[in-house]
A and B are shown apart, each in its own frame.
Chain A
């Protein structure tokens, strides 16, 4: 990864608080609504899933693909975002 997006930086630099799912890197409007339909309203919901899946990249990306129809890039962005957040805050 050459550089990170602004969204990534904004997410990773702060406590998560009760940010919405769309604040996650790689999660835009479309994926956001899909996730919300499935009950993932907040970023911490996704974080929970991320943790339950053992912070495993492949599993998490598969999960995101199944639940929200994310493509590989979106999945990776979201994964990296949560991973970096965990690295600095967990």
Chain B
């Protein structure tokens, strides 16, 4: 035997391993600490082989057993007793500590309330007496205690104290004993009603058993455990139980990790079974149970673990458990964008730990991402709201998603609308984007950054849009805004937008080309002549020539002026047609202007009945006012000024103008025309543009170049220009390019004075053909929150918000929480 021992001891690690393997002894690593055990095993094996084996351990084990018995008995017995005692408060703890004292030192007084005995009496409420018993032996004291629920005991060091305490005949029972008596009557002893205490939380080892059952897919065992004690799944405070200590996994974590959708379903189904909750909390009404269920399911599905802060969905994605992902996502509460310790969402960790590889993994990944993709379908939009007539300040709506809107649909607005209510319309929106992006963008947008505030204040038409445009560009979020002239939502700073603009401009151009020239053949002729002449004549010559031409025709001043203005405008247009290089055109235009100016001056001075100074004043005044609202006053002024100047035929033109002031659109055009003229030209020059104005009324539309609205530059031009300012326009869009160049050539401050085109007022009640195009995507019509949307049938982007306050524009009737930005304006 010694030989064998030596032999084995002399083996080196690898040989020992080999021999052990041959002997089919299960082995682990052979290191210093384990070697002796393996050696012993091998020796044992070898001895057995030779038949020399006597079991020395049997003797040893006997010894150990004896030892353990001796060691256990003093500690073990009180503990065993302690477990049997009904757990009321801290009793077990105090019990375990008492045996350390020598028993003779302690005296136990057990008080049994008398109320217990007279339970049936109705006046048990004031039990004033108690029976006390004095014990020296702890065991006996506990026995009595156990027999009498509600009894209390106290430990004393000296017998004297104990006796004097026992002598007290007052009620020393715990208050609980009274309650027990009370409940005992009501629920007549079927089950104790204080059921939350009925089930004890399982021990850690018991949780491990449940975990094993889940991993082993042992459904019977699972049901047995869980229905035997609901606390296996419901921890204190309705939180999930932790089945894996350390990393704090709950049952759903484990099933996700191990790819056990069936078990996961079982777990969650059990949790959602009202009977199960009733078992835990008997006698609760359905509402509370439903609340508990949704709370628990939410926690089970969304609580992150302690290691990497990952949710079950992270696990399922990470390990490529397709079915699990599918199952988890089938729960609406499942949050798809929670981040783990390293800031990754489930979508970002898909298949990172998957066992499969290569193309198989790619397939799996694609499938899982497809499942997750709808998470992005929780698209959030940030709308810009404007009132129909821009009388109330625009504001930015809260991030909104089509998905979330349904929940709000319950909100109803009263049908009665007062005329002062504002029609809020979505005029622009950024999105779709993730909720997080949306929130951050919303805060940036509404934040009081100086730069933004300046833009917003200086530009009430498109201020918010300009900021939004910039923000969405920097965030890489799609942006769309409503353009009146295109009658749709489009981002002009995109290829699609440019295409639309191009189409619009070319249509406009065609329209302008089609109309006017045949009406003024004479002028056309003159234009051509003039052009020829200008090409090789100096200005002075030109003046004399054209003057003579005009006089040759024998026209009156008015005709003169009219014709000249035609020349002026037609020249410009022809040039546009003929020459692609616009700057040259500009130069020639300028020539014409100068020439016409001089001529006008001549003709005006010839007639002498025309008060030039007056008109100059009028126009310089006009130049300052760039709002369309000024048009009315301007016309009046003109009308009052000019007819006073005599029977000049120009007054005809003016009166035509003032007559036509009834027609809103022509008035605006008119105004914009004259304003534009005054902007382009100096005050004296504006005289020459005046006939042009009159002319344009008669022969509208006339163009000098192409503008977006009407025949002259307006606010809209500037707004559009700003939208595409930083875009380089490719050759595919010649008209846009031309237009942009044309706008660019105007100085910034002049541009800002361009007039606002007249708003086409749209009354939803009177005019059902509304301009708003529903944004249709994937065959779904996106509506901005039904709570904000009325007249849905008319246009999804319209909504009216009634204000309860009588003042127009007051947002009192609005949900302030939903539109915090309004506060910014109204507070």
Contacts and interface: CB of A to CB of B under 8 A. Distances in A.
Given A14-B247, A15-B246, A38 B342 contact: no
A39 B27 contact: yes
Contacts of B27: 39
Nearest to B33: A52
12 contacts: A9-B308, A9-B341, A13-B307, A13-B341, A15-B246, A38-B13, A38-B29, A39-B28, A40-B29, A48-B29, A88-B246, A88-B306
| Size range of the chain A interface in the assembly | 10 to 19
| Size range of the chain B interface in the assembly | 20 to 34
Contacts, number: 43
B30 interface: yes
B244 A15 contact: yes
Nearest to B247: A15
Interface of B: 13, 17, 27-31, 33, 244, 246-247, 249, 305-308, 310, 341-342, 352-353
Interface in A37-73: 38-40, 45, 48-49, 52
B353 A10 contact: yes
Contacts of B28: 39, 45
B307 A12 contact: yes
Q: Describe A's contact surface by its main secondary structure.
A: helix
A10 to B, nearest CB: 7
A84 to B, nearest CB: 10
A6 B249 CA distance: 21
A45 B352 CA distance: 26
A14 B29 contact: no
A9 B342 contact: yes
Given A9-B308, A13-B310, A15-B247, 5 more contacts: A9-B342, A15-B244, A38-B29, A52-B31, A89-B247
Contact of B307 (A6, A45, A88): A88
Contacts of A40: 29
B247 A45 contact: no
Contact of A13 (B13, B29, B30, B308): B308
B308 A14 contact: yes
Contact of B29 (A10, A45, A88): A45
Contacts of B17: 38-39
B247 A39 contact: no
Contacts of B31: 49, 52
Contacts of A10: 353
Contacts of B305: 13
B385 to A, nearest CB: 46
Contacts of A15: 244, 246-247, 249, 307
Nearest to B17: A39
Max chain A C-beta neighbours (<10 A), residue from B27, B31, B247, B249: B31
B350 to A, nearest CB: 14
Contacts of B341: 9, 13
A49 B32 CA distance: 10
Contacts of A45: 28-29
Interface in A1-54: 6, 9-10, 12-15, 38-40, 45, 48-49, 52
Contacts of B244: 15
B383 to A, nearest CB: 41
